[in-house]
Amino acid sequence: MAQSVQNLRKKHPRFIYQSFKITPIDKDLKISFKFKTEPNISFSPSIIIKGLPSSSLNNLDPNILENFAFHLGLMEIPSYWKATCSPEIVIEAGFLNKDQIGWWKNLILRGMGEFFYQNKINLTEPNFFSIKLENSSKEENPCFKGQFNPQKILVPIAGGKDSAVALEILKETRGNIKCFSLNPTKAAKRIMKLRGCIKPIIVNREIDPKLLELNKKGYLNGHTPFSAYLAFLSFTCAFLFGYGKIAFANERSADEGNLTYLGEEVNHQYSKSFDFEQKFRGYSQNYLAKNIDYFSLFRPLFEIQIAKLFVNYPQYLPVFRSCNKYQKTDSWCGRCPKCVFVFTVLYPFLEPKRLVKVFGEDLFKKKTTLQIIKQLIERGKQKPFECVGTKEETLIALFLSLKKSKQAPLPLVLQYLKEKVFPKHPDLETRAKKILASWDQENNLPSNLAEILKKKI
């Protein structure tokens, strides 16, 4: 039974980040954290960074390493604080200055907009929450100012198409490319193996099971900014393994929000957005390591442009997965917005038979798909809380799908769009050409990568 937000906040007035602990275990590095939700709930999550060179541990300044570990703990806070939304977040484990506190407050407010909306939480009320220091060191945490090899590029890998394309694009730089994966799925492992990432950096993250127990008791649950977590974790791994660049595969489509709530934009993909990228680049260079370059490889592009690139690497078609619902079963559910969107953006660029083989069915023939399509394209409708493209590019992908289809009669979805939607948009041909050739100048790509990517599109 769900508990009210007001009661939980009264019952649990403070959430405390108490401490962290760094433990070398052979070639692995374990970092564990202690949190407390007053009066009587404790959490002890941990991560293990695998295969760390022993030489790097021996040569590390312990103060620098502690700063990275402290920040990983800060990034764990949203996952546990959200259970109660305690009015105070207390930091005992380390030091934050005024600007840093403001940065973290902004991340929680913007990165958890979906959580606040779905739990009907009024985040605009005065003093909704504060971040305070208590019993902590009053010294600034040291920022590492040493140099890293800019030819060594760390690439976070999930199981989707974007990771695969990123690896293929980066291959052309002839740099030293290293894969990084957190709790890798079977799809992520297949993509890394197929690309020849022989010794990827693997991190195992253990969620405290008490969190799941609280969920069963009606404590609050919901979305947290996972890509922000990956940003801090990949930055830590780049530092530990000596990589000068981190190339994420986030794209400009992530900038479009889902809805407005209490006057604020809610964006499921906030921590994949350009705004977050800019803020994290500034924060990480000021407070973590000055000379590690974090950027998003596909920031100038829309998802549909990445899909067009993806079909040039058909070896990944049988192995990639993007469905979050069926991630554990390593398959596509065919019923969620993510499945429908990926099917839609690939359709114009693949033979339908090959695409149907990937998904196991033609999603354009299903009534359930039509309802999702309406959410994905109609102005004024809430965009699904998934990592999907903009409404404009989805409409364009559907238009191109109709042009591509040779089926007679047309599948249900394409027939509906042909009759009811496309007549309202007589300029789709022009809009399609524009979006497929699009390039957003707001990006942080190194010039050599920008040149490679421009040639591809």
pLDDT tens column, 160-206: 999 999 999 999 988 899 999 999 999 999 999 999 998 999 999 99
| pLDDT for the residue numbered 333 | 95
Sign of the alpha-carbon torsion through 334, 339, 345, 351: negative
> What is the Cα–Cα distance from 226 to 76, expressed in whole angstroms?
10
pLDDT one-digit tens code per residue, 153-170: 999 999 999 999 999 999
pLDDT at 406: 80
Q: What is the mean pLDDT of residues 245-261?
A: 97
Q: Yes or no: say if 107 and 151 are a contact pair by the CB < 8 Å rule.
A: no
- pLDDT for the residue numbered 57: 75
Percent over 70 (pLDDT), the chain = 98
Q: How far apart are CA 151 and CA 284, in angstroms?
A: 20
- Per-residue confidence (pLDDT) for residue 127, from 0 to 100: 86
Quick one: DSSP state of residue 255? G
pLDDT at 126: 84
What's the mean pLDDT when you consider all of the chain? 95
Residues 263-320 have pLDDT tens digits of: 999 999 999 999 999 999 999 999 999 999 999 999 999 999 999 999 999 999 999 9
Report which of 332, 74, 350, 360 is spatially closest to residue 224, judged by C-alpha positions: 74
Distance from the first to the final alpha carbon of the chain = 51
Q: For residue 207, report the phi and psi dihedrals to the nearest 5 degrees.
A: -80, 140
> How does pLDDT run across 401-452, given as a tens digit for each residue?
999 988 779 999 999 999 999 999 999 999 999 999 999 999 999 999 999 9
How much of the chain exceeds pLDDT 90, in percent? Answer: 89
**Pairing relationship of beta strands 28-37 and 41-43 according to DSSP bridges:** antiparallel
Inform me whether the pLDDT recorded for 457 exceeds 70.
yes
Give the C-alpha distances (Å, rounded to integers) separating 438 from 431, 434, 441.
Answer: 10, 6, 10
pLDDT tens, residue by residue, 73-127: 999 999 999 999 999 999 999 999 999 999 999 999 999 999 999 999 998 888 8
Least confident of 37-46, 229-238, 278-287, 319-328: 319-328
Mean pLDDT over 375-396 rounds to 95
pLDDT band at 136 (very low <50, low <70, confident <90, very high): low
pLDDT at 140: 81
> Domain ranges in the chain?
5-298, 322-436
The pLDDT of residue 408 is 76
Q: Could you tell me where the DSSP H helices lie in 242-289?
A: 274-287
Model confidence at 16: pLDDT above 80: yes
Hey, what CATH topology would domain 5-298 get? Rossmann fold (3.40.50)
Residue 195 host element (H or E): helix 186-195
Least confident of 12-16, 58-62, 268-272, 392-396: 58-62
| 87, 130 Cβ separation under 8 angstroms | yes
Residue 56 has pLDDT above 80, yes or no: no
pLDDT of residue 414: 96
User: In the structure, what pLDDT confidence band is assigned to residue 138 with cuts at 50, 70 and 90?
Assistant: low
Q: Which residues of 206-219 are buried (b: 16+ CB within 10 A; e: fewer)?
A: eebebbeebeeeeb
- What is the rounded average pLDDT of the residues 363-379? 95
pLDDT at 352 over 80: yes
393-402 per-position pLDDT tens digit: 999 999 999 9
